[in-house]
Amino acid sequence: MSVTVPFQNYVFTPAALAVGQAPPRTISDQIWLTVLSGEAALTEVTGNGPNWFSQTVQFSPDMSVSLNAAIEQYSIPTPPQTDINSTPVFALQHWSIFITPNSIFDADQSINAGFAVNSWSANLLNSVDVLTNQPLNNIFGGVTVDVALSDIDAEILRLGFNFTLLGRIAFAKRFVGGF
């Protein structure tokens, strides 16, 4: 199955400090708030009969645009350009995710048709921070979504999403099969 994210919006800003909270020592310690919203286009999520058909899909919005915009706007130091084995990532502290069917289709007569997003969870990755050589945990790597539908010819075409993420911008070592 193929999943693309053709429509995406973002907000990326430094998280506000609480009254009396000490400011970050360095820009690497800064906590950021980002909100990502948009649609994920699905293929091959089609019902196959009168019973509920469930399928798990995974997708990840392209965070490179929002991360690179924040890095440029706030002059965040990056690894040397000679270090091609690193990539900017977002290491999560807290997150709130919401996903819903955004577009459905049913070609013929619909009898007992149903469409559902049963559950979702963040895909969290681990790596090593190239600047500190320390473990880097809870890297946002997208989501896993369990969808279901009932009907012989119905389809879920798009999922709408809204991710509110709180964390740090970091530079992770790339690895085979990863980012």
Domain membership flag for residue 22: no
For the chain, helix (H) and strand (E) counts, in that order, are 1, 7
Please report the pLDDT score of residue 178 as a whole number.
54
Distance CA 114, CA 85 (A): 46
Distance CA 36, CA 12 (A): 9
pLDDT value at 4 more than 80: no
> Would you call 71 helix, strand, or coil by DSSP?
helix
Least confident of 21-25, 30-34, 106-110: 106-110
Domain membership flag for residue 40: yes
Distance CA 100, CA 39 (A): 10
Domain containing 87: what range? 3-15+29-173
pLDDT value at 140 more than 90: yes
* Owner of token pair 């919005």: 61
Domain membership flag for residue 24: no
Domain membership flag for residue 20: no
Domain membership flag for residue 95: yes
Domain membership flag for residue 84: yes
> Would you call 179 helix, strand, or coil by DSSP?
coil
Least confident of 9-18, 46-55, 59-68, 113-122: 46-55
Give me the count of residues in the chain. 179
pLDDT value at 160 more than 90: yes
State whether the Cα torsion 67-72-74-79 is positive or negative: positive
Q: Which comes out higher in pLDDT, residue 4 or 1?
A: 4
Domain membership flag for residue 164: yes
pLDDT value at 37 more than 90: yes
Please report the pLDDT score of residue 83 as a whole number.
60
Q: Based on the structure, what is the number of domains in the chain? A: 1
How confident is residue 175, by pLDDT bands cut at 50, 70 and 90? low
Domain membership flag for residue 23: no
